[in-house]
């Protein structure tokens, strides 16, 4: 079997929370899962995708992929009681419905983050002109997903939903912080699949140089920040050492300046074209002079 995933950045093996969830789960199990990082040949499937070589079938979503890994006896939750297993299921549902939605909203709907973080990343994945075609497809998918989760009214816009998305994610972070307290993992000294889900989302919030209320709320909860750093160091030590928030922020600032320069350049070009179009015609001037004579 082979996992197809989005490639990494910001000191993480993948920039996608769902892909990172599966990668972290396999790391915590001590299983070396073969990974192929997506390039320009992306076929439109929602990643991550686990391809089963023996049958040529494929599985999508972390839930389905992890269930298959458990079927293959690659599991983390064998030490959990029935009550703990039910709690894990409930908290994973909370993370995927609240935190994941807020993360997608921050990266795909917020214009600043989309222009300076999301779009430049996928420009490095796809070749022109697929950069704009495929990112537009992905953007539509994310927007439809958010609208479907928060409203049935066709007249409600994404900007109206933004407040609900962030309030829901704020409550989710507070619940996770309270549950974690000062423990090593969410349920004690041993990891569970809940930790894989939780780390994947928190790590992207912490490492991604986005500007968002989601990141601001996360930074207020010190035990969640320390938890994310602790797991990052343990399971991805080389990537953690290579990660530099200052360098990442400089790259984003550079991208922002490029966008601003491009915007100014576009305005100047349009102004020049407008003036050229509105210039007096030589033929018209000559015709006017003849009429005056």
Q: Is the pLDDT of residue 144 over 90?
A: no
Q: Is the pLDDT of residue 76 over 70?
A: yes
Using the 8-state DSSP alphabet, how is residue 12 labeled? Answer: B
Q: What is the mean pLDDT of residues 240-251?
A: 63
- Tokens representing residue 130 in the block: 């697929």
Q: What is the pLDDT of residue 31?
A: 93
- Tokens representing residue 243 in the block: 């990660």
Q: What is the mean pLDDT of residues 233-261?
A: 63
Q: Backbone phi, then psi, for 122, in 5-degree steps? A: -75, -20
Q: What is the pLDDT of residue 49?
A: 80
User: Is residue 201 within 8 Å of residue 103, measured between CB atoms?
Assistant: yes
Q: Is the pLDDT of residue 118 over 80?
A: yes
Q: What is the mean pLDDT of residues 248-276?
A: 44
Q: Kindly report the number of other CB atoms within 10 A of residue 150's CB atom.
A: 18
User: Is residue 145 within 8 Å of residue 131, measured between CB atoms?
Assistant: no
123: which residues sit within 8 A by CB, 6+ positions away?
131
> Could you give the dihedral angle defined by the CA atoms of residues 18, 21, 23 and 26, in that order, rounded to the nearest 10 degrees?
-140
Q: What is the mean pLDDT of residues 215-236?
A: 96
Q: What is the pLDDT of residue 178?
A: 96
First-to-last alpha carbon distance for the chain, in angstroms, is 88
pTM over 0.85: no
Q: Is the pLDDT of residue 209 over 50?
A: yes
Bigger pLDDT: 262 or 49? 49
Q: What is the mean pLDDT of residues 92-105?
A: 94
Q: What is the mean pLDDT of residues 152-159?
A: 65
Average pLDDT over the chain, rounded to whole? Answer: 81
Bigger pLDDT: 241 or 278? 241
């Amino acid at each position: 079997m082979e996992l197809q995933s989005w490639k990494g950045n910001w000191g993480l093996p993948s920039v996608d929370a769902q892909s990172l969830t599966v990668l972290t789960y396999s790391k915590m199990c001590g299983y070396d899962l073969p990974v192929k990082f997506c390039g320009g040949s992306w076929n439109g499937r929602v990643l991550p995708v686990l391809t089963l070589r023996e049958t040529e079938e494929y599985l999508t979503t972390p839930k389905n992929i992890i269930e298959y890994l458990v079927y293959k006896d690659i599991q983390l939750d064998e030490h959990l009681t029935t009550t703990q297993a039910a709690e894990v299921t409930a908290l994973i549902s909370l993370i995927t419905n609240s935190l994941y939605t807020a993360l997608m909203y921050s990266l795909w709907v917020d214009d600043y983050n989309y222009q300076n973080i999301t779009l430049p990343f996928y420009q490095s994945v796809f070749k022109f002109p697929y950069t704009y075609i495929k990112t537009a497809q992905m953007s539509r998918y994310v927007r439809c997903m958010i609208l479907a989760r928060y409203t049935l009214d066709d007249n409600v816009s994404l900007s109206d939903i933004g407040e609900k998305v962030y309030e829901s994610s704020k409550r989710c972070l507070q619940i996770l912080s309270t549950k974690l307290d000062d423990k090593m993992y969410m349920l004690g000294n041993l990891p569970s699949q809940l930790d894989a889900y939780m780390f994947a989302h928190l790590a992207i919030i912490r490492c991604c140089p986005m500007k968002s209320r989601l990141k601001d709320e996360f930074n207020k909860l010190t035990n969640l920040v320390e938890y994310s750093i602790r797991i990052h160091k343990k399971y991805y030590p080389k990537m953690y050492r290579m990660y530099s928030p200052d360098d990442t922020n400089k790259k984003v600032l550079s991208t922002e300046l490029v966008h601003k320069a491009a915007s100014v350049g576009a305005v100047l070009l349009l102004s020049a074209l407008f003036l050229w179009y509105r210039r007096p015609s030589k033929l018209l001037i000559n015709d006017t002079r003849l009429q005056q004579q």
